[in-house]
Amino acid sequence: MGLSHVNSFARLCSDKVEIAAVCSSNKANIKKVHEVAPNTKVFDNERELIDSRLDAIVVSTPNFTHAKLAQEILASDKHLFLEKPIGITADECKQVVAASEKSDRIVMVGHELRYSPFFQKMKDLVDDGEVGTPHMVWCREFRGPFQPKSGNWIQDDRKSGGTLVDKNCHHFDLMNWWVGSRPKSVCAFGGNAVNRVIEGSHQGNDHVAMNFEYANGVRGTHHLCMFALDFPCEDLEMGIIGDKGLLQTRISDIQILQWKRGAQQTEPIVHKVKANFGEGWGNHLGFDEIHQEFVSCILEKRRPLTTPRNCIDGTLLAIAGEESIRKGQIVEIA
């Protein structure tokens, strides 16, 4: 992910930013960075990088380091692009929100999906009343396993926060955004059936079935399987249903399908959206746009769409889902 960030800033924002430094121990990736930005300084200690003369820092590190690094970077008075999740515990997330709100620096969380014209179109259609009053949202993701990570940290729920926290805080963030309400309770079931990489009880789940409810009464469902379709044939479907109709994503064709209640349609209304895929694994929609927006927010001194305050509930919902699986009970979100 760090290399993908470098490539996007270099490709899209080279007239506005300089890639001045990286902190990494991966020699192969450092070599690739120097192919893009030959004068980039290399640090092997994050404290030295944070203390150096930089305007902004991107945190693209294992999840369990996010909250600590975010607070240190903000204390050093630098702008921050913080990869999701905000933290792996509710307390960590709240600490980052508090630190960001004490700072006058730009703090952007890497929920790039919000920046894609595709998912923004879904938001616009909902806000324009196309589904009426929302009552249900859903996400269905059938995909292959995680890519290997250094030391397999992503497989260890003590370091990743769990599969829902690493993988699906993106999708929870979108659904929260569309619904316009805070999630209040969750009931989830999950386990590890196929993708066992580490021994012991902390192997992340590879399949989950989850239900959740919002403060405004909207209900949501999430189904995840990580031993289904392999990249690039992975399948992600999201949607929202209200008293006037339904919106459903067809991401492979960058289309939104709309069904209007009582319209006696035999085919959906198709909204075609011009949107780019991005860099890196999965080529997430919005990955290009989020880098351009980060730079613009700094230069124009305006708050981004994905501040920690705006995005915390997506991570809190994921954390509560993992807790529900562990405890076998409904979990309330504070």
Residue 48's pLDDT is: 96
Query: Domain for residue 27, yes or no?
Result: yes
Residue range 175-214, pLDDT digits in tens: 999 999 999 999 999 999 999 999 999 999 999 999 999 9
- The CATH number of whichever domain residue 47 belongs to comes to 3.40.50.720
Q: Which of 111, 126, 148 is the last residue of a domain?
A: 111
- Rounded Cα distance between 164 and 183, Å, is 15
150 and 79 belong to one structural domain = no
Whether residues 124 and 65 share a domain: the answer is: no
Domain of 172, CATH number, reads 3.30.360.10
φ, ψ for residue 155, nearest 5 deg: -85, -15
| Residue-wise DSSP of 108-159 | EE--GGGGSHHHHHHHHHHHTTTT-SEEEEEEEEE--PPPP-GGGGGGBHHH
pLDDT of residue 280: 56
Which residue, 111, 144, 171, sits at the end of a domain?
111
299 within some domain: no
pLDDT at 278: 67
Residue 294 inside a domain? The answer is no
Residue 298 lies in a domain: no
| Residue 244 forms part of a structural domain | yes
DSSP summary character for residue 279:
S
Q: Which residues of the chain register pLDDT less than 70? A: 278-283
Residue 184 is assigned to a structural domain of this protein: yes
* pTM of the predicted structure, to 2 decimals: 0.96
If asked whether residues 33 and 119 sit together in one domain, one would say: no
Given the structure tokens 């690039």, which residue do they identify? 232
Residue that is last in its domain, among 42, 77, 111: 111
Range of the domain at 27: 2-111
In a domain, 11, yes or no: yes
pLDDT in tens, 51-74: 999 999 999 999 999 999 999 999
Which tokens go with 239? 């949607």
93 and 26 within one domain: yes
Q: Can you give the pLDDT at residue 283?
A: 64
Domain count of the chain? 2
Dmax (CA) for the chain in angstroms is 64
| Domain co-membership, 178 together with 319 | yes
Answer yes or no: are the C-beta atoms of 136 and 218 closer than 8 Å: yes
